[in-house]
Amino acid sequence: MKLDFELNDAPPELLELLPATAGRGESVAGKMLLLLVALLMCIGIVVVYSSGAGWAEKKFSDPQYFLWRQLTFAAAGMVLIYLVGMIDYHIFRKVSKLLLFVSIGLLALLLVLKLFHVIHGAARWLGFGPLKFQASDLAKYAIILHFSRLLSDKKHYIKDLHTGYYPMLILLMTVVALVALEPNFSTASLIGVIGFALMFIGGIRIRYLLATVSMLIPIAAVFAIAAPYRVARLVAFIGSEKQLSYQVRQALLGLGNGGLLGLGIGASKQRELYLPLSYNDFVFVVVGEEYGFVGALLVLLLFVGLFVCGIVIAKNAPDLYGRYVASGVTFAIVLFAFINIAVASHLLPTTGVALPFISYGGTALLFNSLGIGVLVSISSYRKKREKAKNEQVTLASQEERL
């Protein structure tokens, strides 16, 4: 017989029987996670400055434009990790539905603004001037937080098709469709993958997921080839060497230039206005060119370490909600990293996916910092609870003596 319950719902007598070392594993993982993220941010600051100085000089007449902004984003990200890590992560369970419906509303607002020609081109950003953010980033984390709540709340009937699977599928497809219509096909696809992965982890029947995916693949294929620029990307990926796009060709040249140890800090040749978005979508190319195979491998290992820490935190989470949130956040960050690196290495068609904590940009960095803060909160929850309990015992003893 399998005993399945949440630690928060267990009686105090049972909690007292847990070994004192029960939370040490995830506590160490939380500290290691902070170190890995700090290293990734430091690498991002250096590489963004190196890769973006020429573009910043051309666009803003200031070679340090991207440097100071990335420094500000990284500092704000670390502060956000600290603040979120200090609070009880269960607060996100209470507001998850609100966050999801707000994100859906913002995504719908973007399409309305595009329909009335207030926004021209891709409708992805909301805000004014420098205070802008991508609604899809909020939607991604809202899906993770709310699906984790639904999976933990519906654990006794999660395998039911009508009460367990369909409601979650409708929410996920609503978000995916709105993001895809921006248009942002790559992000929409990744949000879909994250949602299905969470449902799989949460116990949704595999045959339901496979049946849905088999129906979505043809729809996604038609949508992918509906736009000429997406067709061009696919042709550049599957075609011959002569059909490679300019961006892919320059990316491969950059990675090849790096060799084993790289050309050195600031010595990238492709960054000098040859490789578009060298400070964002193709920042990994600059890492490979300036730091070589060794530097690129180090970045990969940092993300592998982040994945391991996240899995340890999820495995030792105090309750099902914490387990699903930790799994979702970890999977989302590592998935985006893998896609970015695979695109830069010409292993996948070109997409507009940033490298977490390294690529230039504030929205993605701050939302990913929020996710890391939640992981830190989950990893330290049991320790904080034990500390609070010990303080209560000490206070009670002092009152008895008085």
Kindly report, residue by residue over 316-330, the tens digit of the pLDDT.
Answer: 999 999 999 999 999
Is a pLDDT exceeding 60 seen at residue 145?
yes
Cα→Cα distances 168→100, 209, 223, 329, 333, Å:
12, 11, 23, 18, 22
CA pair distance 298, 285, nearest whole angstrom: 14
Dihedral sign, CA of 148, 149, 155, 158?
negative
For 330, half-sphere exposure in the C-beta direction (CA atoms, 13 angstrom radius) is: 26
Residue 30 neighbours by CB under 8 Å, 6+ apart: 85, 309, 313, 375, 376, 378, 379, 380
DSSP states of 140-191? HHHHHHHHHHHHHHTTTTTT-IIIIIHHHHHHHHHHHHHHHTTT-HHHHHHH
Three-state DSSP class for residue 65? helix
Helix and strand totals (H; E) in the chain = 13, 2
Angle at 56 between CA 342 and CA 352, to 5 degrees: 25
Percent of the chain with pLDDT over 90: 61
What is the DSSP code string of 323-347?
Answer: HHHHHHHHHHHHHHHHHHHHHHTTS
Name residues whose C-beta falls within 8 Å of residue 75's C-beta, 6 or more positions apart in sequence.
none
pTM here is: 0.89
Q: To which H or E segment does residue 25 belong?
A: helix 24-60
As a whole number, mean pLDDT of residues 150-167 equals 91
Give the Cα separation of 45 and 115 in Å (integer): 37
What pLDDT does 340 receive?
95
C-alpha to C-alpha distance for 325 and 139, rounded to whole angstroms = 14
pLDDT of residue 76: 96
Residues 359-374 have pLDDT tens digits of 998 889 999 999 999 9
> Is the model's pLDDT at 199 over the cut of 70?
yes
- Contact assessment for residue 310 and residue 26, using Cβ atoms and an 8 Å cutoff: no
What pLDDT shows up at residue 38? 97
- What value does the mean pLDDT of the chain take? 87
Name the pLDDT band for 21 (thresholds 50, 70, 90).
very low
Instruction: Decide if 70 contacts 50 (C-beta within 8 A).
Output: no
User: Average pLDDT of 206-210?
Assistant: 96
Which of the two residues, 168 and 121, has the higher pLDDT score? 168
List the single range of 9-18, 35-44, 155-164, 240-249 with lowest mean pLDDT. 9-18
Domain ranges of the chain: 22-396
- Which DSSP string corresponds to 177-198? HHHHTTT-HHHHHHHHHHHHHH
